[in-house]
Amino acid sequence: MIKKVTGESWTPLLFPGWKQLRNRYAVSNKGRIASYKKNVLEDGKLLSGSLTTGYRTLNLHRPNNKGTLYIHREMAKLFLKKPTPKHKYVIHRNHKKLDNSLKNLRWATLEQMIDHQQGSPAKIAYKIKQANRTEGLKLTATQVKKIKKILSSKNRKITIKKLAEEYGVSEMTMYRIKSGENWGRI
């Protein structure tokens, strides 16, 4: 039996293969998940689910289907209107992947999702840590300045491959330096 929460409503999860399972599953507008036989509130059992890359998931073994259901995606499908067909991604407004309350979820386009991820506190902290890193680097700031000068030269005679070999790094590192993805602060 599930304890009622004020303002909470339950909606059955209908996904490919749900009829072959012993139990039924439902999600609430508060982000809770339950399994049940006949009625969520009467014979339901709250589930904590699993964590997959930080997201709350429900792993179900269904015939001919993937077993993982991402709860935030299922909630968005059930409770939130998709603005356009391009809105294929569901983001957590506060960047907390376990907060699946409806007010925290929003449909997003690929561009919106990428922009949102760049503003994540974890991503910002990582960028700061990387920018201040001094150990384990193959290149020095002086070397990067020389590389950037060579890469931006219109009369460059050396290929990126040769430049990478000369400095003992991968070609991808050179492309990332050129684009500013790596060593952007120099």
**Domains of the chain, with CATH numbers?**
10-125 (3.90.75.20), 134-179 (no CATH)
Helix (H, G, I), strand (E, B), or coil: what is residue 31? Answer: coil
- pLDDT for residue 21 is more than 90: no
Q: What is the mean pLDDT of the chain?
A: 90
Taking only the tens place, the pLDDT of each residue in 75-119 is 999 999 999 999 999 999 999 999 999 999 999 999 999 999 999
- pLDDT for residue 29 is more than 80: yes
- pLDDT for residue 62 is more than 80: no
Taking only the tens place, the pLDDT of each residue in 166-180 is 999 999 999 999 998
Per the listing, tokens 């259901």 go with: 69
Reported confidence tier of residue 1, pLDDT bands at 50, 70, 90: confident
Query: Which 3-state string (H, E, C) describes 40-97?
Result: HHHHCEEECCEEECCEEEEECCCCCCCCEEEHHHHHHHHHCCCCCCCCCEEEECCCCC
**Among 83, 80, 149, CA closest to 158:** 149
Contacts of 49 (CB under 8 A, 6+ apart): 33, 56, 57, 58, 59, 71
Average pLDDT over residues 113-139: 87
Q: What are 145's two structure tokens?
A: 């300045």
**Among 77, 76, 78, CA closest to 93:** 76
The CB-side HSE value for 25 (13 A sphere, CA atoms) comes to 26
Average pLDDT over residues 4-18: 87
pLDDT of residue 80: 95
**Among 59, 32, 56, CA closest to 44:** 32
